[in-house]
């Protein structure tokens, strides 16, 4: 029987049931029950209510504070890194937010520009909300560049010496011709007997006239130098050997002269040789629109011998006559204008440029700007390394005082002060940076468009598949994009040739780089130009080559003893040359050594199987094929191949197969 004891207020309630195994029996000293009740009353407490009668109950519900979402300022054309910075997250967070979307994560880079919908999607998936950034009005940067002056007053013009460029094929006697005119021995000093730089000289004729000559290299690698010489010249002397005729660089020189709209004088050289044929040379020139006077044209042709000095005076007089017809004049007043013919780094002088002055008079203390470099002229030297105080129009001069080394072909302009020069250089650097940003942006947009079209095409082709089938198809299609194993990576890295190029002048480095740009076998062995510059080999070059496991190629530069010892200790190859085609040949050999070896098969004999039979040797039966030699001869020391039709059945020692043909390799 159940009993309930109820106490009002703070009295506890207890219940016992006699004989129940869940409750202990009443002790013997306990009094009897106050009353008996046949029913059980269940008590329940409401949640959030006062548990006791005297306690005050708060009836108002508790309000949960609403979590404030982080706001992210977004704008058009945000990159991945910019979005991550705006969200105060790392780049990997953006990648995770764009997971399982149409964005190709494999092609996503930190500088990749995202579309507006993917920017919003990444913010939304990150539990944030976006707001558009306020448009800030940016000031248009003032143009600080400098331009050439307007044409001068004709009354200020004075006659000037002509600038003549000697052009032609390699080894046709250009430098020897110039040596004979100025009685020098430049050709004997040239490495390999070929000119490899632009030389600027002044020659005074017996009659008193002065001519500025530019001697351009004839090797195929120096095409840019020839073009640069043609653009700053008044007259082109085209040298053609009477025994060789019109060659590749002869044709190229004609094209440069026509592009620059410069008159041509033909000098048919080496007429003293027995096999010389000047008439054939002039006939070949007609095929390239160079019509000499005897064929009804306007171009003068002179038969000369640079080695013996024959008819050189007639050639010089023809040049002076043509210059008088052209009425060449210059303005020696006003700000200086010129062109960088060549630039180099000298140990004692620092950055040095060879320039042709085209306007004004250059003096010490002038402030010049060329490209992104500027100079305050400290010294000037002529072609004989003699100091000069001033240089007017048509005069070649070496300029010392550049802060950096300008590139050959740059336009030289004079400015009022050093502050103005810095403004011009800063503006040009800024504009170059902006142009690069635009080019990169266009490339990124084109790449994104290409990937989007490819993605849409793949989706359309797999639209009929289930998600499992689509996933399997995508895996099979992208399997080749998975990372290579370590052994495969090592093999790929070996097919790369990192190189460092150093040259004595800027034009030489430019010529070598132009040759390297024509390399088109990157699929077999990648050619990686790690660094290039002007000057001798330094310890910095050795350390850089060690970092990239590269090879150093030097043209007309030196490496002191300590640098050579450092390179030998670190195992850095030094390829130093004074002739450019020898440098290119060794570069080709180094590239070939990187390529995997190829196996060539030479068939020295063929035979056909006429019959097969067995021969008992001891307890074994050995199959034998009876053959008839059809071509060549068979040698048991060589390997045999057994073929039927186009199928290779076996390679090694002969085996019996009926009516088949095998070839010896």
DSSP-derived 3-state class of residue 601: coil
CA distance 387 to 381: 4
Highest mean pLDDT among 52-61, 473-482, 567-576: 567-576
Q: What pLDDT sits at residue 665? A: 39
> What is the structure's pLDDT at 373?
92
pLDDT tens-digit map of 215-228 = 776 444 445 655 66
In the three-class reduction of DSSP (H, G, I as helix; E, B as strand; rest coil), residue 651 is classed as: strand
- Whole-number pLDDT of residue 316: 85
Write out the DSSP string of 387-406.
B-SEE-TT-EEEEEEESS-P
**Do the domains spanning 161-327 and 331-482 agree at the CATH topology level?**
no
pLDDT at 617: 78
The architecture in CATH of the region 331-482 reads: Beta Barrel (2.40)
Is the pLDDT higher at 73 or at 483? 73
Per-residue pLDDT at 5: 40
Q: Would strands 301-303 and 129-132 be described as parallel, antiparallel, or unpaired?
A: unpaired
Average pLDDT of the segment spanning 56-69: 55
Neighbours of 469 (CB within 10 A): 11
Please, what is the average pLDDT of the chain? 77
Say how far apart CA 186 and CA 380 lie, in whole Å: 22
How far, in Å, CA of 148 to CA of 119, rounded? Answer: 47
* pLDDT at residue 425, as a whole number: 92
Largest pairwise CA distance in the chain: 155
- Per-residue pLDDT band at 363 (split at 50, 70, 90): very high
Yes or no: say if 144 and 424 are a contact pair by the CB < 8 Å rule.
Answer: yes
User: What pLDDT shows up at residue 228?
Assistant: 61
Classify the phi-psi angles of 12: left when phi > 0, otherwise alpha if psi is within -120 to 50, otherwise beta.
beta
pLDDT at residue 492 in the model? 46
**Nearest to 226, CA basis, from 262, 246, 193, 198:** 198
Q: Which of 158-162, 229-233, 414-418, 478-482 has the lowest mean pLDDT?
A: 478-482
Range in 192-196, 217-221, 284-288, 540-544 with the lowest mean pLDDT: 192-196
Q: Which of 387, 397, 369 is nearest to 163 (CA)?
A: 397
With beta carbons less than 8 A apart as the criterion, state whether 312 and 271 touch: no
Per DSSP (E only), the strands in 297-444 are 301-303, 329-330, 337-346, 350-359, 362-363, 367-370, 373-381, 390-391, 396-402, 411-415
Residue 481: pLDDT over 80: no
**Mean pLDDT confidence for 170-178:** 78
DSSP state of 410: P
pLDDT at 577: 87
- Residue 590: how many other CB atoms lie within 10 Å: 16
Contact 276, 242 (CB under 8 A): yes
- Mean pLDDT of the 587-616 span: 81
Gap between the Cα atoms of 550 and 505, Å rounded: 22
Q: Per-residue pLDDT tens for 305-336?
A: 888 878 888 888 888 888 888 888 888 888 99
Q: In what order do the strands lie in the sheet with 605-617?
A: 620-632, 605-617, 661-664, 640-644, 647-652
Q: What is the mean pLDDT of residues 282-311?
A: 85
Tell me the C-alpha to C-alpha distance, in Å, between residue 420 and each of 146, 339, 374, 413, 424.
9, 20, 10, 12, 6
pLDDT on residue 482? 55
* Average pLDDT of the residues in 143-166: 85
- Among 353, 57, 318, smallest CA distance to 205 is for 318
Residue 136: per-residue pLDDT: 60
Query: Which segments within 61-153 are labelled E, that is strand?
Result: 71-74, 129-132
pLDDT on residue 552: 92
Q: What are the C-alpha distances in Å from 472 to residues 467, 475, 476?
A: 9, 5, 6
Domain 491-594: which topology?
Answer: Rossmann fold (3.40.50)
pLDDT of residue 413: 93
DSSP 146-215: --PPPPPPGGG-EE---EEEEEESTTSSHHHHHHHHHT--HHHHSGGGS--S-EEEEEE-TTS-EEEEEE
User: What would the CATH number be for the domain defined by 161-327?
Assistant: 3.40.50.300
More confident residue, 63 or 177: 177
- Stretch 657-665: mean pLDDT, rounded? 40
Spatial contact of 374 and 425, defined as CB atoms under 8 Å apart: yes
- C-alpha closest to that of 336 among 389, 420, 413: 413
**How remote is the C-alpha of 35 from its chain's centroid?**
104
pLDDT digits (tens, 9 = 90+) for 92-139: 888 888 888 878 787 788 888 888 888 888 898 888 888 887 766 556
**More confident site: 495 or 557:** 557
Rounded Cα distance between 490 and 280, Å, is 58
- Greatest mean pLDDT among 62-66, 426-430, 632-636 lies in 426-430
Give 377's pLDDT tier (boundaries 50, 70, 90): very high
Annotate 613-629 with DSSP letters as a single string. Answer: EEEEETTEEEEEEEEEE
**Strand order of the sheet with strand 496-503?**
526-534, 496-503, 551-555, 574-577
Task: Select from 237, 260, 238 the least CA-distant residue to 247.
Answer: 238
Give the Cα separation of 500 and 36 in Å (integer): 109
Domain boundaries, the chain: 71-132, 161-327, 331-482, 491-594, 605-652
Residue range 548-581, pLDDT digits in tens: 888 999 988 888 888 899 999 989 989 898 877 7
Tell me what percent of the residues of the chain surpass a pLDDT of 90.
8
d(CA 116, CA 77): 7
Nearest to 241 by CA among 215, 274, 276: 276
Q: What is the percent of the chain with per-residue pLDDT over 70, rounded to a whole number?
A: 79
Taking residues 426-450, report their average pLDDT: 86
Q: Give the confidence band of 7 by pLDDT, cuts at 50, 70, 90.
A: very low
Q: How far apart are CA 467 and CA 193, in angstroms?
A: 72
Q: Are 359 and 328 in contact (CB under 8 A)?
A: no
């Amino acid at each position: 029987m159940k009993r309930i004891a109820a106490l009002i207020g703070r009295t506890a309630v207890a219940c016992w049931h006699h004989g129940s195994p869940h409750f202990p029996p009443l002790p013997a000293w306990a009094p009897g029950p106050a009353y008996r009740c046949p029913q059980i009353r269940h008590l329940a407490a409401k949640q959030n209510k006062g548990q006791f009668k005297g306690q005050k109950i708060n009836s108002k519900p508790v309000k949960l504070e609403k979590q404030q979402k982080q706001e992210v300022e977004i704008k058009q054309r945000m990159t991945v890194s910019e979005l991550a910075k705006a969200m105060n997250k790392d780049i990997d967070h953006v990648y995770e937010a764009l997971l399982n979307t149409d964005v190709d994560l494999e092609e996503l880079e930190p500088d990749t520009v995202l579309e507006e919908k993917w920017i919003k999607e990444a913010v939304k998936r990150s539990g944030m909300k976006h707001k558009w950034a306020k448009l800030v009005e940016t000031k248009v940067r003032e143009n600080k560049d400098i331009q050439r002056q307007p044409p001068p007053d004709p009354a200020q013009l004075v006659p000037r010496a002509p600038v003549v460029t000697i052009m032609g094929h390699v080894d046709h006697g250009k430098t020897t011709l110039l040596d004979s005119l100025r009685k020098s021995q430049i050709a004997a000093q040239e490495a390999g007997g070929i000119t490899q730089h632009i030389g600027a000289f002044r020659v005074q004729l017996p009659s008193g006239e002065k001519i500025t000559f530019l001697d351009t290299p004839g090797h195929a690698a120096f095409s840019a130098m020839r073009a640069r010489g043609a653009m700053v010249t008044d007259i082109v002397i085209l040298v053609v050997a009477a025994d060789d005729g019109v060659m590749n660089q002869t044709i190229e020189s004609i094209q440069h002269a026509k592009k620059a709209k410069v008159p041509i004088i033909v000098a048919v050289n080496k007429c003293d040789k027995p096999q010389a044929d000047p008439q054939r040379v002039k006939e070949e020139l007609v095929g390239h629109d160079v019509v000499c006077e005897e064929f009804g044209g306007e171009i003068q042709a002179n038969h000369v011998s640079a080695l013996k000095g024959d008819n050189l005076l007639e050639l010089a007089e023809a040049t002076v006559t043509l210059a008088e017809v052209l009425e060449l004049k210059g303005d020696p007043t006003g700000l200086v204008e010129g062109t960088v013919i060549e630039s180099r780094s000298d140990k004692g002088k620092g950055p040095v440029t060879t320039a042709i002055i085209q306007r004004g008079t250059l003096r010490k203390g002038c402030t010049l700007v060329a490209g992104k470099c500027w100079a305050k002229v400290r010294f000037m030297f002529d072609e004989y390394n003699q100091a000069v105080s001033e240089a007017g129009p048509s005069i070649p001069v070496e300029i010392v005082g550049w802060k950096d080394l300008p590139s050959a072909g740059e336009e030289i302009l004079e400015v009022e002060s050093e502050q103005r020069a810095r403004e011009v250089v800063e503006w040009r650097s800024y504009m170059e940076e902006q142009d690069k940003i635009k080019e990169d942006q266009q490339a990124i947009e084109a790449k994104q468009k290409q990937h989007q079209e490819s993605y849409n095409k793949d989706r359309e082709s797999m639209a009929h598949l289930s998600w499992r089938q689509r996933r399997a198809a995508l895996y099979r299609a992208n399997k080749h994009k998975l990372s290579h194993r370590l052994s495969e990576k090592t093999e790929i890295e070996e097919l790369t040739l990192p190189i460092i190029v150093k040259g004595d002048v800027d034009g030489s480095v430019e010529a070598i780089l132009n040759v390297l740009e024509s390399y088109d076998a990157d699929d077999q062995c990648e050619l990686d130009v790690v660094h290039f510059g002007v000057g001798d080999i330094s310890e910095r070059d050795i350390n850089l080559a060690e970092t990239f496991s590269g090879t150093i190629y030097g043209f007309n530069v030196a490496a002191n003893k300590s640098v050579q010892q450092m390179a030998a200790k670190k195992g850095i190859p030094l390829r130093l040359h004074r002739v450019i085609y020898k440098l290119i040949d060794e570069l080709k050999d180094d590239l070939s050594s990187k390529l995997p070896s190829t196996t060539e098969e030479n068939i020295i004999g063929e035979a056909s199987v006429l019959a097969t039979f067995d021969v008992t040797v001891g307890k074994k039966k050995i199959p034998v094929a009876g053959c008839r030699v059809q071509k060549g001869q068979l040698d048991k020391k060589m390997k045999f191949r057994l073929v039927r039709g186009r199928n290779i059945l076996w390679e090694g020692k002969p085996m019996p197969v009926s009516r088949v043909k095998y070839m010896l390799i």
